[in-house]
Structures are given as C-alpha cells and as structure tokens.
Amino acid sequence: MKIFRHLFLDDTKKGSSKGSINGAIDGNDFLDEALRRGKEKLMEDQQARIASAKIAPNTPSYRHFRLVAAADELANITRLGQLTNEITKYFIKERPGERENLTSISIADSSEFKEYCVHRDARADECAHLKYRTVDGYCNNIEHVREWGVAMRPFRRILPPDYCDGISQPRCGSRKVLPPARDVTLKLHRANYKSDHKFNFMFAVWGQFVDHDITSTAITRIIDGQLVSCCETSGIDDCFPVMLSQDDPFFLLYNTTCMEFVRSVAAPNCMLGPREQLNQVTSYLDGSVIYGSTTKLSKRLRSFSRGRLAVTYSADGKELLPISIDLSDGCNREEEANKGRYCFLAGDSRSNENLHLTTLHLIMLRQHNRIAGELAKVSPHWDDERLYQETKRIVTAQLQHVTYQELLEPLLGQEIMDRYNLTLLDEGFFTAYDENLDPTVANSFATAAFRFAHSLLPGLMRSYETTSPGSWMLLRKVLFNPFPLYSSGSLDRILQSAIKTDVQKTNRFFTTEVTQHLFEEPQNETSPKKCGLDLVSLNIQRGRDHGLPGYVKWLEHCGLPRPEQFKDLSGLIDEESLKAMKLLYESPDDVDLYSGALSEIPLKGSILGPTATCLIADQFKRIKLGDRFWYENANGPYPFTEGQLREIRKTTLAGIVCDNADNVTDIPKKLLLFSSTSNEEVECATLNKLSYEPWRES
C-alpha cells in the first residue's frame, strides 16, 4: 500500500482511496492513461494482424499452429493478457525507477479486470457441496479455489523469467544475442540413430497423452482462425520467427530462410509484472484429455444417455470417437471428407496429431463406455449424471494409476520415485495430501523438461498396413492421419505398430523426421517441394519466448554446482556435446534449458539426467500430493472405499487395451516396455479383471 501511495501521491494527498493498492485503478490518472494506451496498442496490433500476410492452409506451419492456437472462446482472456502486458510496459517506460515495485501494484479493481480477478478469488464455501471434480479444476484446493491447478490460468514459475528487457522480450543471452535455434538443432541435436530396446513407441505415446492432460500452451491467433505469417510480415510484436542460415538444408533444398513462429499469448494477471503464459487445461491429472477442460466441450463429448460418451461408428459397427467436420482445422482433408471420413473430436484439440495418439483416445473412450455399462448393471437405478460422474472418477483413477506405475517408475527409477513420494501404495490409503503445495504446472516443465520425449521418436515405425514383420514406414506417415481407424481391423494393427516399434535413446539426438520433415505434405511429381518443420528448433524458440532462464540456473536450482566455464560441465555432459555447445554459445549461462538438460548423462536407474529428473519428479510430486481428489487419498471429498481401491489397483494398460481393442488376444504384460524375455506376451484372458461389485448400491 505504501508503494502504491508513493507512486500516486497526488491522489492520496486529496484523501482519496484511489491510491490504495486495493483501489480501483480507473480513478487514477496515471493508470487510466496506461489502460487507454494499452487498449490503443491492442487495436493497432489487431489491425496489423488483419492486414498481414497469412499462412497458407494445409501447410506444415498451418497444421502446427491450428493444433495449438488459443481457442476462440479464450478471446477475452487473451485480450486481458495482452492488456496486462501493455500496461506493464507503459508503466516501466514512464516510471523506470519503480521497476522493483512492479509486482506490488494491483490492477484487480480496474473495470477491465474486475470480473476476471473477482472470479479468481472465489470463496472456499462454494466447494463444500462438491463430491466430484469440476471440469476446469476449481474447488480442488479450497484455499486457492480458482487459482491453483485451474484451467485458463498462468503456468507456475519456479525461477523468475529471464526476458531480454526484463518484462516481455524473448530471452537474449549474456551478450544480448543467442545462436539461432535452428543452428542449435543442426549442430547439437543432429541425427544419431541409437535404439532403446527397453521401451516401445507406446511409452512415448502414453507420455504424450499424459502431457496433453496437464499442459496446453495457448498460441496467438487472429479472427476467423487465420494465422499470421511472421516470415512474410514485419512490425507485429507477437512474431518471433526462426531464422535460417545460408548453409541450412532448408535454405539449400527449398530456398527457405525463415520458419514460422508466433509467440504464446500473454496470460492475464491481477498485478503488474513480467509476461506470463496461459495453460488452457487443468494441471491435475484428471482425465481432461478425455473429458475436456471447459463446460462447453465436456457437454459436446457426452451422449447424455446411460452415462456414456458420444460416439460415431465405423462401417463394421465398432465405436469411434465423435467427428470434427471443420475442414479448416488443419487435419481434415477434402478427399477424405468426400468419403465420409473426418478427423475426430476428443477432450484435447491435439488428439489427431498422430495416429497412435488418436488410437489411445479411442481406447480410453471405449473404456469409459464399457465401465459405464458395468456400473449400470450393478446399480441400475443410477441416472445418466451419476453413471457419467462415477465412471469418469474410475477412469481418472486408472489414468493416475497407470501413469505413476507404468510410465514414471521406468522413466525415473525406483530411487527417485521413493525420494519424491511418487511410489503408489499396494494397499490402504494415502494420507499425504498437502493443501499448501501448488500443483500448477511449471512453465519450465511444460516448455522444456517434459518435452524430452521428442528425442524418443523413431524415424521408422512398424507398418500398420500389414502384419508382415519386415514392413516399415516413415514416422511422418502417422502424423495428422487418423483416417485408417475407419477401416475394419486397423485398430489392432495400429496398436501392434506401436507395441512392436522401439524408441530412440533419450539424449540430444533427434531423427530427421522431426527436425526436417515434421508435418510435411505428401510430395508428388507436379507439386513444388515444401519443407517440413523442425520440432527441436520450435521447442528451443518456445523456451526463449517464455523467458525460461538458461540451463545453468536450473542446475543451481536442482542443487548442482554452478559452472563458470564449459569445462566445469565435464562429467555431467559428455565431451562431444560440450564441444558442440562451445561452438554455439558464448557462455554456459547462455545454453538453453532444453538443450542442456537433454545433453546430460543419465542418472543411474533413470533415462534422464539430473536436471530433467529434478524438474519432472517435482512436478509429478505436486500433481499427486497437491490433488485433493487423488484416487488414493483417504481424506478427499468423496474417497473410494477399500474394496473399490483394491479393484482399481488391478488396472494395467495392457488390460485396458485388451478390453477395448477389436480383437487383441496376446499382449506384453507391461505394455510400455518392449517385449522381451523379461516382459513376455501373455494372453489377455489371463490378466486380472476388475469386479464392479464394490460399486453396487441398493
């Protein structure tokens, strides 16, 4: 309060409350002017976007950005985020001496922000009657009702952002310049194919499924779904294209000097401060990837009959996901639509990004509908709403169980699982819920650490078109191609494709399928050559866009010594990687978190180095211990009974696939691990089946 009064002394001298930190800013001349200037800048930006060149439909960049662009219903929230950013920049320009007081200045009472900020500060008594999770995550933490873990809120910061201007300009390094992201890809993250025979491709796909449940960064878009071409436009603040060198293969083969990149939207806040980014989904592992994170979408996905989710049907009568008939969505193709085959609709907009991910969405939809049918048998008097909520609760518990038991344990190793309290119980209840632990997904986790799985992606996949063991296909063939699911018998072959393909080792190397050919269009003799995207460059650029501090600061955060020179990283990073880093970066301080973490030597028992392990383990600890509805929690608002928990603990991903595939009879018992002598295939009939008797209610 003293800070605010000091800044606006003229108002406080008059005895007005307008200078109070909790006062409405509309009455203050200076902040009135800041708000007016901010609105003018937003209007200028909007006009510039409308007048700009647009990305051509059905190009790799168009597909990518339609996949991650902010939803239309976020228009007001994204506008408030931009406005927060512009007010902050104006304040710093006019009052540079007060920069250190920035985050003490509230804009919550402004007429523009009041509804958003009051809505965020909802009272805990709103939550007293709730026994099921809400769609957007509110009321999970009753002290931070609409803030912690809630959809449409900023990511959490572990370390303060490192923006070039301290406010919003992308990170620029110790000498105000960083190597182009594409150069880092070509010189540090080149291809070097080494398979990891421990994991199959399903490991990477389930990791992606989980990632989409807890993170969805909103990317800037304009009206009517059109996307600005940052490579063809100048003067737009949210443009941050990846520039290419003249020796780049893209330049030499396609005469391309620029890769499209638009910044993530600024998240609104109720205080001034550096730019933050928006997570469109809940941070809880709550099945939002299946059920949606908005009321509008969750209703669209329901059938409102017998607790079931809505479906379409294949020609042979098998359940499929609902369809999306938007031909401009970056996935649908006119030639497929003419056959009555469309891309699918699911709880997450990225469900069609690759065929195997779409398949998991279908498996989990069928799992929901199958369990709803079982519950209707044991409690036939339950209405649609009760059946839907109870089924969703079970499926969410199974999602949590499989993720911690089958994904995290082999990923992090048992020692880390125990150290971070990630190990699941074999019996009894969990009592370590911590209402003071913020589960909100960290910006560094979403933007860098959990993107490690991109290095797992193989260049070649077992073909789903034939059962012949010697048949392979390029990874690009499964991207934005959900249409094979319409064909009879294809589901089982697609599953086998993922199960029978091993992944690449987790390291700094990436297949050219993701660094040269991502979302590439099919080529023919008459069409001009068009290059794909480089996922690694986009990841590095996104980290800079978000102001993620350099790799060295994350080493310190995770308890490792700060290196002064590159040679100080010897033993933590192999010598070949260090040599490449020294050629690219001026100083260890400049190394990007994504590149540094992937270059580390893995810890014993883990496939990751210490920095990625630290950031990933901490986030999943928060997701578990900070979730009041966690499936093992004895003190949740509506805990499972001991009998119900015993049944849920029988869940395996292998069992889920067996129950919901078309005709799978044999499967690796540990489905995310590559089949071997220690992980032999078993008959589906021998796997544990859940009994739904504990849910019988007279």
Q: Which helix (H) or strand (E) holds 184?
A: helix 181-188
Instruction: Give pLDDT, residue 346.
Output: 97
Asked whether the predicted pLDDT for residue 80 surpasses 50, the reply is yes
Using the predicted structure, report yes or no on whether residue 524 has a pLDDT greater than 70: no
Residue 222: pLDDT band by 50, 70, 90 thresholds? low
- As given in the structure block, the two tokens for residue 17 are 């409350």
Instruction: Quote the pLDDT of residue 122.
Output: 62
pLDDT band at 209 (very low <50, low <70, confident <90, very high): very high
Closest CA to 95 of 32, 31, 39, 152: 31
- Concerning whether 212 is annotated as a catalytic residue, the answer is yes
- For β-strands 460-462 and 258-259, DSSP reports them as unpaired
Joined tokens for residue 532: 């794909």
Contacts of 6 (CB under 8 A, 6+ apart): none
Across 232-236, 331-335, 551-555, which has the greatest mean pLDDT?
551-555
**Which residue in 111, 93, 92, 112 sits closest to 102, CA to CA?**
92
Tokens for 81? 């985020």
* More reliable by pLDDT, 523 or 601: 601
Query: Is the pLDDT confidence value at 141 over 90?
Result: yes
CB atoms within 10 A of CB 335: 8
Whether the predicted pLDDT of 333 surpasses 70: yes
Per-residue b/e over 618-647, b at no fewer than 16 CB within 10 Å? bbbbbbbbbbbbbbbbeebbebbeeebbeb
Is 644:654 a contact under the CB 8 Å cutoff? no
113 within 8 A of 268, measured Cβ to Cβ: yes
Backbone Cα Rg of the chain: 25
Least confident of 115-119, 158-162, 179-183, 530-534: 115-119
What is the C-alpha separation between 9 and 426, in angstroms, rounded? 63
* Poorest-pLDDT segment among 373-382, 519-528, 544-553: 519-528
Residue 72: per-residue pLDDT: 73
Mean pLDDT of the chain: 90
Pick the more confident residue, 698 or 666.
666
Residues above pLDDT 70, as percent of the chain: 93
Q: pLDDT tens digits, residue range 566-596?
A: 999 999 999 999 999 999 999 999 999 999 9
Give the total residue count for the chain: 698
Residue 188 has a pLDDT of 96
Closest CA to 149 of 686, 682, 628, 687: 628
3-state helix, strand and coil shares in percent for the chain, rounded to the nearest 5? 45, 10, 45
Spell out the residues 6+ positions from residue 340 whose beta carbon is closer than 8 angstroms to its own: none
> What span, in angstroms and rounded, lies between the C-alpha atoms of 479 and 584?
31
Q: How confident is the model at residue 14 (pLDDT cuts 50, 70, 90)?
A: very low
Helix (H) / strand (E) containing 181: helix 181-188
The active-site residue out of 64, 144, 189, 212 is 212
pLDDT tens figures, 372-396: 999 999 999 999 999 999 999 999 9
**Inter-axis angle of helices 29-51 and 75-94, to 10 degrees?**
120
Burial status of residue 587 (CB atoms within 10 A of its CB: 0-12, 13-18, 19 or more): middle
Are 519 and 545 contacting, i.e. CB atoms less than 8 angstroms apart? no
Q: Which two tokens stand for residue 650?
A: 């029988």
Instruction: From residue 361, give the alpha-carbon distance in Å to each of 40, 364, 393, 421, 502.
Output: 43, 5, 17, 29, 21
The pLDDT of residue 18 is: 33
Gap between the Cα atoms of 137 and 286, Å rounded: 9
* pLDDT per position as a tens digit, 433-484: 999 999 999 999 999 999 999 999 999 999 998 767 678 999 999 999 999 9
Binned at pLDDT 50, 70 and 90, residue 123 comes out as: low
Question: pLDDT grade, residue 255 (50/70/90)?
Answer: confident
Q: Which residues have a Cβ under 8 Å from the Cβ of 342 and sit 6 or more positions away?
A: 323, 324, 325, 332, 336
Provide the pLDDT confidence category of residue 23 given band limits of 50, 70 and 90.
very low
* CB contact set of 248 (below 8 Å; sequence gap of 6+): 182, 186, 256
Supply 128's token pair: 């007293």
What distance in Å separates the CA atoms of residue 123 and residue 147, rounded to the nearest whole number?
11
Instruction: Tell whether the model's pLDDT for residue 530 goes beyond 80.
Output: no
Q: Do residues 479 and 518 make contact, with C-beta atoms less than 8 angstroms apart?
A: yes
Residue type, 578: L
Helix or strand or coil: residue 545? helix
Q: Which residues contact 26 (CB under 8 A, 6 or more apart)?
A: 32, 35, 109, 110, 111
Whether 19 has a pLDDT exceeding 80, the answer reads no
Residues ≥6 apart with Cβ < 8 Å to 525: none
Q: What is the DSSP string of 92-105?
A: HHH-GGGGGGGGG-
Residue 27 has a pLDDT of: 42
pLDDT band at 8 (very low <50, low <70, confident <90, very high): very low
Is residue 469 helix, strand or coil?
Answer: coil
pLDDT in tens, 619-637: 999 999 999 999 999 999 9
Cα dihedral angle (104, 105, 111, 113), rounded to 10 degrees?
A: -50
| pLDDT, mean of residues 228-253 | 90
The stretch 311-318 carries a mean pLDDT of 94
Give pTM, 2 decimals. 0.93
